[in-house]
Chains A and B, each alone.
Chain A
Amino acid sequence: MKRTVTAILALAFVCVGLGLGQAKHPSELKYPSLKYDPPDPKAFRVEYAGGLRAYVQEDRSLPLFNITAIVNCGGLYAPKEKAGLDTVLGDQLIKGGTKTREGTVIEDRIDFLGGSLNFNVGERTSTLSLSVLTKDLDEGLGMFFDVLMNPAFREEPLKLAKARFVEQLRQANDQPNGVLSREYEKLLYGDNALTWRPTKASYEGITAADLKAFHAKYVSPKNVILAVAGDFAKADLKAKINKLIAGWKGGPVVFPALPKGFPAAEPGVYFIQKAINQGYISLGHLGIEDTNPDYFAVQVMNFILGGGSFTSRITTKVRSDEGLSYNQGSRFTYRWGFPGTFSGYVQTKSSTVGYAISLILAELNRIRKEPVSDAEMETAVNYYLESFADSFQSAQATMMSFANLEMTGKPMDYFKTYRSKIEAVTKARVQEVATKYVHPDKAAIMIVGDFEPCNKGGDKWPGPLDKLGKVHRVNLTDPMTGEEIKKP
């Protein structure tokens, strides 16, 4: 299939290269047609012993082997008094060693082989990833499953990790961007597992027993999906994996109740003081889930509004026309099982904070009230259609995408139907979803910056900031204690 495509393309290139003259303007260019069909997840799905699922692709182009275990568990399942358990687990699954190997032995050996082994704990999914040369496949695979199935969480490395993470808490309020994203989420989601942050006490309270219990509860064959690609034969790999996981069991997993019902934040300005020369701004409210049937229309709408880089309205207005900022735009974020956020964002010098906000709010209103242009639609839709094949450039990334679709319960024909769903989006649908999901009147406007100059404004938009709504001064919390700092 792929080979055929290549041959056709090569031929087409020759025609273009030799047959036609030099174009003076891009509008004169004629492109040969290109057909691309995405790979079908079914062709790669495998089931190993104990109900362990996998997406596996042989890729013999280089002597490499890559495997990732996606585990259905994450930091969201840690109780409040153990906030930070995800960070510690991410560090200690490998560093804490296994029943038969010290963590440092595993790290040294992987490093000696020129490989990598990493564990990352996310919100609801966690990933253990190994990459080694094919010649080290057996040894690497052995260590990979040993770490996944038999972590020992030894006391000494755990003690060190906790002390280092507590030390790192000192930096939690240093970066203006870090402060903004953390506090903005807190404002939109309220006080629950989505926004709990570790403190010195919560880190210190985490024990090896906690880590063991967490691991035992969630890491079981039926709660894991593998993504594998590289230089091997599928049948050989199956035999090897089945041997390594023989006897690996685990009952059905019972997940804790997820937070739900997020009361809307009161619209207005939320100001966090920091002695810097710009204001860092996010403004918006909760968004949607990516399983929402409006998802594709929202993608196209946001591309035009502020997601499509230099082709988008917010960038054109705020950056290109006015020279107010380097980063600006709008974004919808997505999370599994919850609505994500919608935000307009910008960082600009203190005197133009109010002006930049007013311009973004105006664009939010405009896309609700006026239909977008044909040219804007064409650029947005073509971008998604024409760049579609990009998602499949790496075999391992493709297997990961398929495993994630299955893990999060999305339709397995997601990629197959993707382009037709984008093509179905119309100008009317764009305006419809803008009206439905973009609400400048309900926006919480959060600013991290220096209050006096921001509040004063400048020639084009003199302050004060309460012209944008009631100003709430938000105090930061001491990262060590989690308690509010009264005087910053």
Chain B
Amino acid sequence: MRKRILVLVASAFVLAAFAQAAGVTLDVKEHVLGNGMKILMIPKPGVPRVVCHIYFQVGAINERPGITGSAHVHEHLMFKGTEIMGVTDYAKDTEIDRKIDELMGKIYREKYWKTDGDPVQIAAWQKEFDVLVAAEKAYIIKDDLWTRYMSNGGTGLNASTSQETTGYYVTLPSNKVELQMLLESDRMMNARFREFYSEKDVIMEERRLSENQPGFFFGEQVNAAFYAASPYHWGVIGWMDDLKKMTKQDLVDFHNRYYVPNNAVAIYVGDFDPAAIIAMAEKYFGRIPKGPDLEPIRTGEPPQYSEKRLYGEGPAATSLQMMFHTPPDGHPDTAALSILAGTLGSGGGGFRGGRGGGGGTGRLYKNLVRDKQLAVSASASSRPQWYVGAFQFSATPRLDKGVKPEDLEKEIWAEIDKVKKDGLTEEEIQKAKNKDEAGFIRGLASTAGLASRVGRADLKRGWRSILTDLEDLKKVTNEDIKRVAAKYFVKDNSLTAIYTRKSGR
């Protein structure tokens, strides 16, 4: 149930071009159930294990102010039982649970709707609440689903929520895939969000863990400033106010809207016979009624028409970030931006999830870290998300040499100007293509990684987009590189964030 902010779109680039070059292909077997749910299968005979993942096309971007964080809260609640799981007497439990919700409804109104709520009344209700929660424990089987999976050899047991998708994972012995089909279809249909209020406390602790990471608050402001209108404005964890005030009904509505089979993809990778998987999927997932069609996100990011700058201080390393709006995944410029990020900041580092990095072979490392010795690290990355993209430069200055973030900003603009004028070298472009090809092959070797990449890609543009993106990447020319650099790397399209180490928050 850990939150991971995801980045798979970028790595997905690599898939198919090399498939032809090396005679290796990505072979995904597909089956669509009558209710619209898609079953994808990648058989890999050998060790008798099967990676079983389910992805839903729902994430933080499907929220709105007031319920930010609810995609992630909902993901946690999916582990809190159903009509058959996690409960000894469903009728009796439901009765108590209804009373708990009623009471909490009164407390929330007193606490959050009024400016002068009565603390004595709240305390009295809170006592009643504690009594009911204690009584409900008699009917709750703690973490039943989790125990059931683990005692059957489930590993990699987890779930994660990103801006765009939510995934539920388990790897099982290959004779026990039916358990996953039963438990997952059951919680799609019959989820009951018991222990909602204590779980919200857990999630607020999760948010505090993030808050205690040096520089978190500044990063949150930078993100919010960069995305003024689009729902990428808030983080997956959500604002603390919304976490406090969201109700169980908010989550029930969220579930009913998004956890429908026509919004889901199940993927299996490992040692199995596809015919058996299909038969089981028909039996378990096939019984869930289809839901209404879901409208894509409406709000894009309007043009800035002016440069944004943010300054912050706190207990983290002095650093520079420069961000530029770029088009979403699937746009014709995405491939050139990916090559650019890889070439400028290649080798690891940078912000996770994007192409690029800050290692030893990128231009930024060679020029700013190695030769001029102005930076401790310098990286670039491109993140083509589903609805709005971002390209980011990050660097930390050599304080021992008196270098300031603003000095690095000038240096990075000089590198950008070089690219606008001359583009990249042929060797650099070829290197980027080689790396993507090799990455594609290497990606096929994993099981969980492959499931995640293919399953997520399928939700939005179909898994074959992995192959067409790679074809697009092979076609990128130096003219494309110069063109996209000139188009996107302009001040009116940018946010520059400068952070300086100071003690205190």
Contacts and interface: CB of A to CB of B under 8 A. Distances in A.
A34 interface: yes
B205 A325 contact: yes
Interface residues of B, number: 97
Given A34-B48, A171-B317, A22 B209 contact: no
A326 B173 contact: no
From A163, A280, A393, name the one whose CB has the most chain B CB atoms within 10 angstroms: A393
Given A22-B283, A386-B152, A349 B208 contact: yes
Given A175-B213, A326-B205, A390-B49, A170 B275 contact: no
Contacts of A5: 48, 271
Contacts of A12: 175
Interface residues of A, number: 87
Nearest to B447: A393
Given A277-B208, A393-B47, A387 B155 contact: yes
Interface of B: 22-24, 44-49, 79, 84-85, 137, 142-143, 146-148, 150-155, 157, 171, 173-179, 182-183, 195, 197-203, 205-206, 208-209, 211-214, 271-273, 275-280, 283-284, 287, 315-317, 346-347, 360-361, 366, 369-370, 373, 376-377, 396, 398-400, 427, 430-431, 434-439, 441-442, 444-445, 447, 501, 504-505
A63 B444 CA distance: 10
A131 B434 CA distance: 14
A104 B427 contact: no
A368 B147 CA distance: 23
A62 B201 contact: no
A433 B427 CA distance: 61
A386 B147 contact: no
A34 B197 contact: no
Contact of B205 (A112, A135, A321, A347): A347
A133 interface: yes
B317 A311 contact: no
Interface in A362-394: 378-379, 382-383, 385-390, 392-394
A26 B202 contact: no
A316 B211 CA distance: 24
Contacts of A393: 46-47, 49, 447
B198 A321 contact: yes
Contacts of B271: 5-6, 9
A411 interface: no
A392 B441 contact: no
9 contacts: A13-B280, A17-B277, A32-B175, A114-B438, A164-B377, A174-B317, A319-B202, A324-B202, A388-B153
A326 B206 contact: yes
A64 B441 contact: yes
A161 to B, nearest CB: 10
Given A163-B400, A393-B47, A393-B447, 4 more contacts: A9-B174, A10-B276, A104-B370, A315-B143
A428 interface: no
A245 interface: no
A258 interface: no
Given A17-B280, A31-B175, A170-B317, A175 B214 contact: yes
A113 B201 CA distance: 49
Nearest to B14: A114
B441 A63 contact: yes
B272 A13 contact: yes
A176 B212 CA distance: 7
A349 B273 CA distance: 49
Contacts, number: 248
A214 interface: no
A61 B346 CA distance: 28
A107 B361 contact: yes
Given A112-B427, A389-B49, A277 B212 contact: yes
Nearest to A16: B178
A22 B185 CA distance: 12
B376 A277 contact: no
Contacts of A327: 209
Contact of B143 (A26, A111, A311, A385): A311
B99 to A, nearest CB: 19
A315 B146 CA distance: 12
B287 to A, nearest CB: 7
A25 interface: yes
A276 B212 contact: yes
Given A33-B175, A309-B157, A17 B279 contact: yes
Interface in A2-21: 2-3, 5-6, 9-10, 12-14, 16-18
Interface in A151-207: 160, 163-164, 166-168, 170-171, 174-176
A275 interface: yes
Q: Which 8 A-B pairs have the closest CB atoms?
A: A386-B153, A114-B438, A323-B201, A13-B276, A17-B279, A323-B198, A10-B273, A310-B146
Nearest to A384: B153
Interface in A298-321: 308-311, 315-316, 319-321
Contacts of A160: 369-370, 373
A349 B317 CA distance: 25
Nearest to A164: B376
